[in-house]
Structure 1
Amino acid sequence: MEFPKGEIGKRIRYLRRFQGLTSEELARLAGVSQSMISQIERGLVSPSLETLWKLSHSLKVPIFSFFETEETNAVSITRAGEAKVVKRVRPTVSYELLSPSNGKQMSFFKMTVEPGQDLDTPFVFHGGEECGMILSGCLRVELEGECHTLCQGDSIYFDSSQPHRFFNEGDEDAVAIWTMTSSF
């Protein structure tokens, strides 16, 4: 599956226009160039995870809202095998969206992290809270200089404003159920 850069670009353009922002204003808020915003919105480039975080913060939406269509139903059911899978935000991580997050205060997803440590992975931080439970494998979560190794059955909760990142140092995929809230 290819990274959905065209759809993400359209969603970012929609959100920017809906909020009455010019591409120059969004670029200034996110700390990127106006030409980068233009290229992302036209689907010419795949934004990095760091750029997506900056854009989500600047647009005051959860990052997963870039991957969804509008959802206005009060009840939403995701059947087994029907969840939207987002790959290549980080090459070793895939996210299976288990609930709508666009316009919602909470995102719920299944995260699969392939073995391998990427030391260049930046720390991220954003408003809200996160919690997760490891279904299989092990995951190392770094929070402001502290490392926590979580294995099957372990869970974690933290304030998302703390700089954080995660790695799978094991030999098998680490699979977790994760929830994030937004302060937006």
Structure 2
Amino acid sequence: MFKLVFPKSEVGKRIRYLRRFQGLTSDELAKKASVSQSMISQIERGQVSPSLETLWKLSHSLKVPVFSFFEAEENNAVTLTRKGEGHFIKRVRPNVGYELLSPSSGKQMSFFKMTVSPGEGTDDPLMFHGGEECGLMLVGSLRIEIEGEVYLIDEGDSIYFDSSLPHRFMNDGETDAIAVWTMTHDF
């Protein structure tokens, strides 16, 4: 079972910090991310939880990894994450959970364990963002839709793709599908 480590108020504070650090007004960020200024204000004040799609838009607009909204700044050259010590992140998609296994703030890639619970998922919006990603299926199987093409990966299979291609993950099985995943960032 996943738990949200950072409540919406903390995510909002982090987004406000990153926006201000870059010298952007909330209106400027809203325009860059194609969301309303009132949405930015509500997110930053912790009044609403942004959807995963909105988080991707904000991360691209702020030129930071999406996981940077969920962790404190860390500049260590070496970081060791012991089993069970990763940050658990579960957002709007109720069937997808992420365990961040590496710092991503100020880093060129993110490394995490992704767990996708059984469920159709065809109503989930497609994601796209800069960079590249690849994954290795540990348990179960995933159906991955990438720019209209569907790929099935089973235990031991891996996949690589350009993250700017619209994509989503679906688990047609009866148990959780678990994969390790890495994403690079184009900024």
TM-score by length of 1: 0.97
Q: Quick one: which of 10, 14, 22 aligns to 1:11?
A: 14
Aligned-residue offset at 1:80: 1.1
- Percent of matched pairs sharing the same residue: 73
1:116 partnered with 2:141: no
Alignment partner of 1:90: what SS? coil
Q: 1:89 and 1:99, CA in 2 relative to 1: closer, same or farther beyond 3 A?
A: farther
1:88-107 correspondence to structure 2 within 5 Å? 88-107=91-110
Given that residues 52 and 91 in structure 2 are in contact (C-alpha distance below 8 angstroms), is that contact kept between their aligned partners in structure 1? no
- 2:171 maps to 168
Aligned-residue offset at 1:90: 1.4
Alignment partner of 1:54: what SS? helix
- 1:182 maps to 185
RMSD: 0.9
- 2:135 maps to 132
Alignment partner of 1:16: what SS? helix
Which of structure 1's runs of 4+ aligned residues deviate more than 4 A?
none
Aligned-residue offset at 1:69: 0.5
- 1:85 maps to 88
1:151-162 correspondence to structure 2 within 5 Å? 151-162=154-165
Aligned length: 184
Separation (CA, whole Å) in 2 of partners of 1:133 and 1:79: 19
- 1:43 maps to 46
Alignment partner of 1:107: what SS? strand
Aligned-residue offset at 1:81: 1.3
Separation (CA, whole Å) in 2 of partners of 1:75 and 1:145: 39
Q: Deviations over 1:12-65 (max 9, x none)?
A: 000000000000100111111111000000000000111111101110111111
- 2:76 maps to 73
Q: Deviations over 1:87-136 (max 9, x none)?
A: 13411011000000001000000000000012221111111000000000
TM-score by length of 2: 0.96
Alignment partner of 1:10: what SS? helix
Separation (CA, whole Å) in 2 of partners of 1:125 and 1:84: 23
